[in-house]
Amino acid sequence: MREVNHRVANSLQLASSILRMQAHQELDAHTRDQLEKAGLRIGSIQHVHNRLYRSGDMRTIEFSQYLRDLCNDLSDSVLQDESPKAFNLTADCDRMRVETDIASKLGLVVNEFVTNAFKHGHRDNEDCAVRVSAHLAEGVLTIEVADDGPGLPKDFDIGRIKGLGMRLVRFVSSSLGGESGARNGAKGAVFFVTIPLPDHAERV
């Protein structure tokens, strides 16, 4: 199984790289953006298989390290193409082991929230800071992605957003028995998901 995960990870990395290369050659801005996002989504799944290959446990992965790896990958790829003159992405995650299929789905959610924050969560000509947190309490996992941008309009409703990214977030959270939402925080917008994991996660 370790060798299978290694081969799957390599194949996903190749597919992700091809999409990103095509994105950089695309003249149409909308098409370029969609190709870039598709490459990042595949990359988030690739990280799960990389963690499985390195670990002796094929059933679960250490979730905090997975999120940090994912954030590093996002910093090295999509963020360099965005508009802020400087950016800072940090992760504050409880150490826990999560089942692999759940982790891969949550990785897609974090990917969407982070790329959205770096696209919209900053003021013109100002630096951009994004914070990812994941905490497990009483069998409920809460993941938040916060920025220091202008915040959300008063009538903002994540359920009304029709873009593929937020539709994917709603689908994943619903499939895991949780919910997704957004609110204004102390400095900017906060997007979050809460997932019940009483039997699927354990602190380490």
| Per-range mean pLDDT, top range of 32-36, 190-194, 195-199 | 190-194
Q: Which of 101-110, 117-126, 176-185 bottoms out in mean pLDDT, i.e. has the lowest?
A: 117-126
Q: What percent of the chain has pLDDT over 70?
A: 61
In a domain, residue 110? The reply is yes
Q: Write down the pLDDT at residue 75.
A: 76
Residue-range definition of the domain harbouring residue 142: 59-203
Q: Give the distance between the most distant pair of CA atoms in the chain.
A: 50
Give the pLDDT band of residue 179 (cuts 50, 70, 90).
very high
The answer to whether residue 140 is domain-embedded is yes
Select, from the ranges 3-17, 43-57, 111-125, the one with the highest average predicted confidence (pLDDT): 111-125
Tokens found for residue 136:
């497990």
Q: What is the dihedral of CA 181, 69, 202, 111, to 10 degrees?
A: 20
Residue 111 vs residue 202, higher pLDDT: 111
Strands (E) across the chain are located at: 60-62, 87-93, 96-99, 128-137, 140-147, 179-184, 189-196, 201-203
- Burial (CB count within 10 angstroms: exposed 0-12, middle 13-18, buried 19+), residue 190: buried
User: Any idea what the CATH number is for the domain that residue 109 is in?
Assistant: 3.30.565.10
pLDDT value at residue 116: 84
- In degrees and rounded to multiples of 5, residue 197 shows phi and psi of -135, 50
Whole-angstrom distance, CA of residue 71 vs CA of residue 92: 11
Roughly how many angstroms between the first and final C-alpha of the chain, as a whole number? Answer: 24
Q: What mean pLDDT, rounded, does the chain reach? A: 77
Looking at residue 186, its pLDDT comes to 85
Would the pLDDT of 134 be above 60?
yes
Question: Is residue 21 situated within a structural domain?
Answer: no
Asked whether residue 188 is domain-assigned, the answer is yes
CA distance 42 to 140: 26
**25 within some domain:** no
- Say whether pLDDT at 5 is over 50: no
Examine residue 39 and state whether it is found in any structural domain, yes or no. no
- pLDDT at res. 146: 93
Digit-coded pLDDT (tens) for 50-103: 655 455 566 788 888 888 888 887 776 655 555 545 667 888 999 998 888 888
Residue 81 lies in a domain: yes
| Structural domain count of the chain | 1
Please check whether residue 66 lies inside any domain of the structure: yes
pLDDT of residue 150: 84
Q: Greater confidence, 151 or 29?
A: 151
pLDDT for position 94:
92
CB atoms within 10 A of CB 8: 17
Secondary structure E strands in 5-86: 60-62
Could you tell me the pLDDT band of residue 11, with boundaries at 50, 70 and 90?
low
